[in-house]
Chain A
Amino acid sequence: MNRKIILAGALILLLTVIVLMGWDLFFGSQGNQENPYAYDLKSLKPGDTLQVMYEETQQILPGFSVIHGIATDKSGQIYIAGDNGVEVLDSTGKRLARFALEETGRCIATGSNGLIYIGIQDHIEVYSKAGKRLNKWKSPGDITIITSVAVSGDHVFVADAGNKIVYHYLSDGQLLKQIGQKDPEKGIPGFVIPSPYFDLGIGKKGELWVVNPGRHTFEQYDQDGEMITSWGKATMAMEGFCGCCNPSHFAILSDGSFVTSEKGIERIKVYRQNGDFACVVATPDMFTEGTTGLDLAVDSRDRILVLDPDKNQIRIFTEKKKN
């Protein structure tokens, strides 16, 4: 390359630095009105609208002032745990039943036997559909915070965010074992739970899936507590998870795909069975900034039910092509 051009380029670089120094000294700090330490996620929130494959088709207003957990059963009925009670709705949102609880339920699941399992702070309570309490299980630990419960046949799995462990129970409340304890020899990394968002669910073939939110991964376990596989990608991009602990909740579609919800950047997405990103259900602009606890459920028609605690609604999303 011509020496003169190189020299001119180097000179321009040098002069640019000197001019920038002068500008920064005299004008740099004066125009800066922004807080450099501001907690601002706006730049991370815009999503690609072309990836949105779902649309919001219905909202249901529960009869609670605060809502925490949602579940569905095979018949399509919807169960909502709210302040000191549970509501049972049909698939259109019509209220079928309501019963009171002594304490507020934080998470809820239904069994094939028609029983309702409710996680209440540090223990599980079992109710009939009619609202009769059938059992109250003993709290498994001193600092237990139950954040999720899932039922697979006679087996009940409970996520304890306080102790960072999953408990495997029989449906009568008998504790069989703990799952997910750190064991390098077995390749179990241990759960990293920085906040009380620790979800689990049952897959298409009855397998147990647990979110490891601090690692941004999903982990699959068999009923003996052995880890089978895991997937997940920590990234700021749409196809992965980011923040201190995400995804915060998930549900599983009939084809085995995962529906996930996140906090920080409030969004709902779908991942295929193998963990590949599939599409977006709802973008951050559809939620109030700062919303947490977007619990999810999927009904028998593969509609995605999103519990929005901020708007106090159950928001139903349906795949666009199905309309």
Chain B
Amino acid sequence: MKKNAVLLILILVLTIQLLNVYGVQRFPKPEFESGYVQPDTLQPDTRAELLAIMDIVVLTVALAVISWLVLKKRSRIGVFCTSVLSLVYFGFYREGCVCSIGAIQNITLAMFDENYVIPLTVIAFFVIPLIFTLFFGRTFCAGVCPFGAIQDLVSYKPQKLGTRLNAVLGLIPYLYLGLSILYAATGTDFIICRYDPFVGIFRFDASFGMFLFAGILLVSGIFIARPYCRFLCPYGVLLNFISRFSWRHMTITPAACIKCRLCEDSCPYDAIDMPVPGKNPEDRAITLRKLILICLLVPFFVLLGGYSTSRLHETLAGVNGKVHLAKSLLEPTTNNGQPETFEITAFKSSGKPVSQVFSEASAVIRQFYIGSWILGCFIGLVFGIILARQLIIAYQADYTPNKGTCFSCMRCVDYCPVTPEEVKS
């Protein structure tokens, strides 16, 4: 009943978005003056310093509360309520910006462009969740990230995807992270912000494309829990990595696992590692062969990835404005009778020499050549490690949350028959 009500409210909120999607052109322009003076275009003021500090405080408090709810209180309802509050504050009130996910790009740009001054809030939004993750696991994903919260609300009939499908789709965030760093480092674009699916919903001004994107993610999110978090979120890659080394992490059971198997299908994110009996350990020779294979495969994939991606560096660089302009200038100005592009028109009116555009573009392409090698090696390394993990059998006795992929949402906890009271007694 509660789930239906939440779903209904979400559908209503999304329906309001449709009002912005459709607009009608008024034509021809009115000829009379109405006395209305068109105001100058204003840049929005930066957020007041006090409010910016308040955002950092709210983020820290929210992370502290959610970590306490996860690790001490073990409360699914508490996590849910915190995620709704975070959705309201960081989503609808703060309009989804600054967000920790997009902050990756600001941090990258600040590292590669000395003229870029990075605001303190952005650093805080990037670093604080990582610190909490290092101590308490992905509690940020559990109930502070507004992206996760909005998807969690619609996760109505989640289905399991299976290990292989999860592994294949799980490669996409690494690629997205690599591309977003490459484009931010070269000053090309902030692609995470460009394809931010929910910011339009938070701001009630989604374009049709954005609305469609968010709509598809939310509709598919009814059956595939948190699709953005699992198969797109580049910040999730960092959290996944750091969470593996977390000091404390939520557990399914408050005491020893009794292997009742009740929690086995409780996780909508396929983030519970099943017990692997270690009664018949592998033969040493087989283990050695696997180790040698891994040692050969990983460098091979790294080199293959680097080489293959470097072949695509010009395509990757095509997204850059300077490269795109240079390419447009090389093509005939009137292509099949089409008018020249706006970029060319703007360039012609700027008075810059064409040679300058070409030299700037070739410098960018050189950067992309190096960047695409690094990106390819990174993807190859990730692919190699994922493949290697399939070869290694990690023995474990209990049902445990996977420290990397678990969002600490606490759904599984309710399935565990072992209660803290029993543990005390």
Contacts and interface: CB of A to CB of B under 8 A. Distances in A.
Interface of A: 3, 6-7, 9-11, 13-14, 16-18, 20-21, 24-26, 29-30, 33, 35, 39, 41, 161, 193-196, 236, 242-245, 263-264, 292
Interface of B: 24-32, 34, 157, 159, 161, 165, 172, 179, 191, 194-195, 213, 216-217, 219-220, 222-224, 227, 231-232, 315-316, 318-319, 324, 327, 335, 338-339, 341-342
Contacts of A24: 195
A14 B224 contact: yes
A9 B223 CA distance: 9
Given A7-B159, A21-B195, A14 B227 contact: yes
A29 B30 CA distance: 32
A196 B28 contact: no
B30 A10 contact: no
Contacts of A16: 216
A175 to B, nearest CB: 24
Given A17-B217, A35-B339, A243-B28, 9 more contacts: A7-B223, A9-B223, A14-B216, A14-B224, A21-B195, A21-B213, A33-B335, A195-B28, A264-B28
Given A7-B224, A35-B342, A194 B30 contact: yes
Contacts of B29: 244
6 contacts: A13-B216, A21-B195, A26-B318, A30-B318, A264-B27, A264-B28
B345 to A, nearest CB: 10
B384 to A, nearest CB: 22
Given A7-B159, A14-B216, A21-B195, A33 B28 contact: no
Given A6-B159, A7-B161, A33-B341, A13 B220 contact: yes
Nearest to A192: B30
B28 A29 contact: no
A18 B28 contact: no
A220 B12 CA distance: 41
B318 A263 contact: no
What 10 A-B pairs come out closest when comparing CB atoms? A194-B30, A195-B31, A10-B220, A10-B223, A13-B220, A264-B27, A14-B220, A7-B159, A33-B338, A244-B30
Nearest to B24: A236
Nearest to A27: B318
A6 B26 CA distance: 42
Contacts of A245: 30
A183 B224 CA distance: 58
A86 B245 CA distance: 93
A17 B213 contact: yes
B26 A243 contact: yes
